[in-house]
Amino acid sequence: MHWQPTSWQDKLCAQAIPYPSLAEVQQVIQEISLLPALIEVQEIVQLQSQLVLAAEGKAFILQGGDCAERFANASQANHVSNTLNLLSTVADRLRHGLQKPIIGIGRLAGQYAKPRTHEYEVQQGISLPAYRGDMINAVEFSAAARIPKPRLMLQAYQCAKHTLQCLQEFKSIVNEMFYSSHEALLLPYEQALTRCIDGAWYNLSTHFPWLGMRTAAIEGAHVEYLRGIANPIAIKIGPWLSSQALLALLTQLNPQRLPGRITLIHRLGNKKINDTLPGLIEAIQQHHQPVLWMCDPMHGNTQLTQKGFKTRYIDEILAEVKQAFTIHRRLNSCLSGIHLEFTSEDVNECLHSTMAQANGSDKVLIDPRLNAQQALNLASEISHY
């Protein structure tokens, strides 16, 4: 079927943003489409070749960074450099332990939009639209702040541009290659930065977009958009995705079965991974699908503390990683990477164990993140597997 960057507009769009003015959305898309691309095509091609090596067990992927980027942080050079330094340090820890090259992929330069389970947020009996990320609305709890504003996409572009400039400077200093990634959620923004290069369409807002669980409907707008771009893409896999649905997604997104095209990031939870992952792996093997497997041990282990704050327990995060390695090895499969949410900020959002709940955790904006020491400790533990 013929594809264009606008093809998604004919499909049902999950997590669609109720902008007050669709005409303003179209104007913003037009403005961004005239701006320079953020990513070089050669780097996207290079990443895909490295993903092929990782799928063969010759490299390991560290994908990590903030849950949701903030515009204010993008303008702070120290914040961006601290994030990159942490990503590099965790990669070094993994490289030393695993004794193989590490492919560093940051959750940065575009992670300004977030899917939400609940459309509304209630505080003190007042219900307002949920905060959806700085690219969509503001975090302040007021009716005016929560109105989606299309022109925030232009601000997102400028923040991403600044962050990627910092990334380029950082790569030249450490003499290593790092890549950017974000969830391809806000499709007007993704469309505006989709460009045709040598006969192929590339999303030039990021190296490595991913498809979230909430937008993975086979006939939906996000799958339609992602099937047409040449970037390597990832698919987040939750515990309710059946083998049949996964195979249908792969047929839609990688009909030519290109190596390095698809990365599967399973986020199943410590309590469900043993019941769910083996069947998915076996289905992939039986149908000879060329995929790369990664583990996201964060999202499936989110809980509420007694105070009502979101947290994640590090012992459960580690337990899921350990089970993932064990299951893949038992089935002669290869776990080729890990996906983490962490920050260089001094936070106490993830707790060491369920026994630590009495000490409390910090209130989080969207999802709990590992702090620097927790991320490094986790990398050391992972290296033993």
What is the tens place of the pLDDT at every residue in 100-128?
A: 999 999 999 999 999 998 999 999 999 99
Across 351-375, average pLDDT: 79
User: What is the DSSP pairing of strand 335-341 with strand 291-295?
Assistant: parallel
Question: What pLDDT, on a 0 to 100 scale, did the predictor assign at position 318?
Answer: 96
- Nearest residue to 196 via CA among 41, 28, 366, 352: 41
Kindly give, in sequence order, each residue whose CB lies less than 8 Å from that of residue 80, ignoring residues fewer than 6 positions away: 73, 74, 108, 162, 163, 166, 167
The answer to whether position 118 is within a domain reads yes
The C-alpha atoms of residue 64 and residue 107 are separated, in whole angstroms, by 5
Count of domains forming the chain:
1
Provide the b/e sequence for 319-341 (b: ≥16 CB within 10 Å).
bbbbbbbebbeeeebbbbbbbbb
Reduced to 3 states, what is the DSSP secondary structure of residue 310?
Answer: strand
196 part of a folded domain: yes
User: Is the residue at 32 inside a domain?
Assistant: yes
Domain assignment present for residue 1? The answer is no
> Which of 199-203, 338-342, 349-353, 368-372 has the lowest average pLDDT?
349-353
The whole-number pLDDT of residue 355 equals: 57
DSSP H or E run through 157:
helix 152-174
Average pLDDT over residues 266-274: 97
Is residue 2 assigned to a domain?
no
Amino acid 357: pLDDT: 56
- What is the structure's pLDDT at 384? 81
Q: What is the pLDDT of residue 359?
A: 57
379, 90 contact by CB (below 8 A)? yes
pLDDT of res. 383: 86
Structural domain span for residue 299? 7-382
Percentage of the chain lying above the pLDDT 70 cut: 98
Residue 121 lies in a domain: yes
Residue 258: band (very low, low, confident or very high) from pLDDT cuts 50, 70, 90 = very high
Q: Which two tokens stand for residue 310?
A: 């979101």
Q: 295 and 323 in contact (C-beta within 8 Å)?
A: no
For residue 337, give the CATH number of its domain. 3.20.20.70
Least confident residue range of 57-61, 158-162, 172-176: 172-176
Asked if residue 182 is part of any domain, the answer here is yes
pLDDT at 354: 62
199 belongs to a structural domain: yes
CA 283 to chain centre: 24
Q: Output the pLDDT for position 268.
A: 97
pLDDT in tens, 46-63: 999 999 999 999 999 999
